[in-house]
Structure 1
Amino acid sequence: MNTAGPARRADSRRNRARLLEAAEAVIEQDGAQASLEAIARRAGVGSATLHRHFPSRQALLNAVFHEGVERLSRRAQELADTHSPRDAVTTWLDELTTYTSTTRGVTTALMADPEGGIAVEDSCHGLLHSAAARLVADAAEAGVLRDEVTPLDLLTLANALSLASEGDAETARRLLHLALGGVLSRTEAD
């Protein structure tokens, strides 16, 4: 009886879990550019094992932040279903900006994967883009947003504010509320 197959799969799952746990800790300390070698060392595996599970830095970041981003995606749906379009988009942007400004490294995970190694619909960027698209469509239809505002504009705005105020949610939120005057329709901004 050959037990190498299932044992290897269980070992592989444990290695992946240890890598994600190590990556969370190292990225929290060093940011998105954290040493992949340090992550592998902390997980107790070699760099080849890390690269087998996560072929790129972007793939690793996507895995580390996926749960938080899925929560934000669900929250956008909830807000769209229960709030006015204006309140839904502004509340969601506030929550997104707070999360990204206080979660070190996540802003890099929210950028589109330049190598295309992650399916867009599964990436952190893709999940948030889809969430923002619903909010933007609803807000545009209600006349709440300026016509030229796109989902990518809102993600870029939240990312930029988070980078400018990393670790300081209050500053990020204050800057967001100042910037909303540029994305809300002229009557909404007044």
Structure 2
Amino acid sequence: MRADAKRNRDHLLTVAGTTIAEQGIDVSMRDIARTANVGLATLLRHFPTREALLEALLHTSFGDLTAKASELETSHAAEDALVSWVRDCVAWTTEYRGVTVLMAAAIDDPESALHASCVTLRAAGARLLARAQATGAARNDIDGDDLFALIAMLAWTGDQPALAPRASHLFGIIASAILTSAGGGRSTGVYGER
């Protein structure tokens, strides 16, 4: 890719990230192009669909969360690794209002531009969950799909202005429901508050 084309693409991603964070994923492609001071055709040349734009925008974050799961798997106790990773996922997904709806749909849609990234992310969480289950720290009646759904549910809660103040409390309840130990993250909030 030529340097000027890469600069333009990076600029579009920066503007899209800011716009989506402020207005949610339903912001029109036309509004993103207008905010970036380019024509709609220019935006569509780089990103022909909203999902293609979101995949490019979120790709690094998906990779970071997957790498974080691998790091936690080797550096933390199973219970702590699982809770920490779920907390990071929930916090990240609330940065882009409405992205959890797309992620939940993409997981079952191989044609979605987000499918591969979502499947990889779900697999990373499933590994952490299986490790916690193997040590007896997590319930055995949930799987990676359930964990992905719980993350989406908690992120959706954080997207709702009326419910956002309860997000940390609800995270603690869900963490306690996943874990088998008595302390199971009950007082740990979405952003790590105690």
Q: Distance in 1 between matches of 2:183 and 2:135?
A: 11
Q: Please state whether the residue corresponding to 2:94 is helix, strand or coil.
A: helix
Shift of 1:73: 1.6
Deviations 1:93-140 (A, max 9, x none): 12222222344344245335336143744x2x1332121021022112
Question: Are residues 109 and 64 of structure 1, via their aligned partners in 2, closer, same or farther at CA, if it must alter by over 3 Å?
Answer: farther
Q: State the TM-score, normalized to the length of structure 1.
A: 0.80
Q: Aligned match of 1:146 in 132, 139, 153?
A: 139
Q: State the TM-score, normalized to the length of structure 2.
A: 0.79
Instruction: Indicate the RMSD between aligned Cα atoms, in angstroms.
Output: 2.7
Q: Please state whether the residue corresponding to 1:72 is helix, strand or coil.
A: helix
For 1:116, the equivalent position in structure 2 comes to: 111
For 2:40, the equivalent position in structure 1 comes to: 47
Shift of 1:57: 1.4
Q: Distance in 1 between matches of 2:70 and 2:110?
A: 29
Q: Aligned match of 2:67 in 62, 69, 74?
A: 74
> Greater shift after overlay, 28-37 or 55-64?
55-64
Shift of 1:20: 0.6
> Which amino acid in structure 2 is aligned with residue 179 of structure 1?
I
Question: Are residues 84 and 36 of structure 1, via their aligned partners in 2, closer, same or farther at CA, if it must alter by over 3 Å?
Answer: same
Name stretches of at least 5 consecutive residues in structure 2 with no aligned partner.
187-194
Question: Are residues 52 and 108 of structure 1, via their aligned partners in 2, closer, same or farther at CA, if it must alter by over 3 Å?
Answer: farther
For 2:189, the equivalent position in structure 1 comes to: none
Q: Distance in 1 between matches of 2:32 and 2:65?
A: 26
Q: Distance in 2 between matches of 1:74 and 1:45?
A: 34
Shift of 1:56: 2.0
How many residue pairs get aligned? The number is 181
Shift of 1:31: 0.4
For 1:177, the equivalent position in structure 2 comes to: 172
> Which amino acid in structure 2 is aligned with residue 173 of structure 1?
S
Counterpart check, 1:132 vs 2:125: yes
Deviations 1:65-109 (A, max 9, x none): 222232222211111101111111111112222222344344245
Query: Which has more radius of gyration?
Result: 1
Q: Distance in 1 between matches of 2:164 and 2:92?
A: 8
- Identity over aligned residues, as a percent? 35
Counterpart check, 1:24 vs 2:17: yes
The question of whether the paired residues in 1 share the 8 Å contact of 2:21 and 2:95 is answered with no
Question: Are residues 61 and 92 of structure 1, via their aligned partners in 2, closer, same or farther at CA, if it must alter by over 3 Å?
Answer: same
Counterpart check, 1:33 vs 2:26: yes
More helix by share: 1
Shift of 1:144: 2.1
